[in-house]
Amino acid sequence: MDLNGLPRVPVGDWVDAGVDWLTDNLTWLFDGVSAFMSALVGWLEAALLFPPALVVVVAFAAIGLLVRSWKFGLFTLASFALIVSMSMWEAAMSTLSLVLVASLITVAIGVPFGILAARNNGFSTFVRPVLDFMQTMPSFVYLIPAIVFFGIGKVPGVVATIVFSMPPAVRLTELGLRQVDKEVVEAGEAFGASPSRILTRIQVPLALPTIMAGVNQVIMLALSMVVIAGIVGAGGLGAMVFRGVTRLDVGLGFEGGLSVVILAIFLDRITSAFGERASKRTSR
């Protein structure tokens, strides 16, 4: 009984009991997920670090040139060369691998859930408060069960990042599909197209700009969460920033933060470019 006369509701005790049960009974599942994600992140990180840094920098610049413009390609070349010169290259590639793996898994889960929510009002009603909960819960809270289930390292960082960045993928996929002109869908039905064909040939292509906006938001949230996950041993630029904070090393913290900004700008512009292209194709 608290000072207001209301009985205490032991929500925290219930959560602890649930976590203990999961830990005792689903260890095999957590070990499998951990092994899979660890191998995936390790493989991608090794692939990014295998060539000389300047070769990868030039490749990123070429991507920027092809996807956007020569100005962005030049900016990419200069900014990633700066990361190399600050001795942040390995940490940046570690962070990039974590972001890409977490984003790919998030999109692979979130987009189908968004499609299901767009086609089923009952599921949409159910999933909306769940997404609100996921989006408003402080990001640090996700690290606690991730550490309990997967220990210290990169895997809990990836798992926490997936949970934290999931809502935009679901929400914007559902929004894009619901905004598709019903007359276009009815025209497809009139021509005898099956529901799956209408989805893949009409609804998804027309909703692609909004879906790509969701992918962009997923990547940005993943990048912010991966930096926070550096606190629990995920490494990368998050570890550099955290080290700068704990040591009151302003220079190290600024270099790590600047590298994060460069990665964020690069990923944002690339995904935005794909969204703009999808929008132009849709308008045609």
Closest CA to 274 of 209, 217, 222, 218: 209
Q: How many domains does the chain have?
A: 1
* CATH number of the CATH domain containing 111: 1.10.3720.10
For residue 281, how many other CB atoms are within 10 A of its CB? 12
252-269 pLDDT, tens digit per residue, is 888 888 888 888 888 888
Is 206 part of any domain? Answer: yes
Q: What are phi and psi of 18, to 5 degrees?
A: -65, -40
Residue 15 lies in a domain: no
pLDDT category, 223, cuts 50, 70, 90? confident
Q: Is residue 13 part of a domain?
A: no
pLDDT of residue 80: 92
pLDDT in tens, 80-128: 999 988 888 888 898 888 888 988 999 999 989 998 988 888 888 888 8
In a domain, 236, yes or no: yes
- Residue 179 domain flag: yes
18 C-beta neighbours (distance < 10 Å), count: 11
């609100």: which residue's tokens?
Answer: 132
Please return the burial class of 148, using the count of CB atoms within 10 Å of its CB with bins 0-12, 13-18 and 19+: middle
Residue appearing with tokens 């969204």 = 275
Burial of 178 (0-12, 13-18, 19+ CB in 10 A): middle
Q: By percentage, how much of the chain surpasses pLDDT 70? A: 94
57 near 237, Cβ under 8 Å?
no
Question: Is residue 68 within 8 Å of 273, Cβ to Cβ?
Answer: yes
Q: Which domain holds residue 105?
A: 25-283
In a domain, 17, yes or no: no
Residue 8's Cβ-side half-sphere holds a number of Cα atoms within 13 Å equal to 8
Query: Residue 201 has what DSSP assignment?
Result: I
Three-state secondary-structure class, residue 212: helix
- 14 within some domain: no
Rounded to whole angstroms, the Cα distance separating 187 from 32 reads: 46
Report pLDDT for 280: 62
Tokens of 120: 């089923």
Assess contact for 96 and 48: CB atoms under 8 A.
Answer: yes
pLDDT in tens, 37-74: 888 888 988 888 888 888 999 999 999 888 888 888 89
Does the pLDDT of residue 283 top 60, yes or no?
no
- Report the C-alpha gap between 283 and 174 in whole angstroms: 20
DSSP code of 149? H
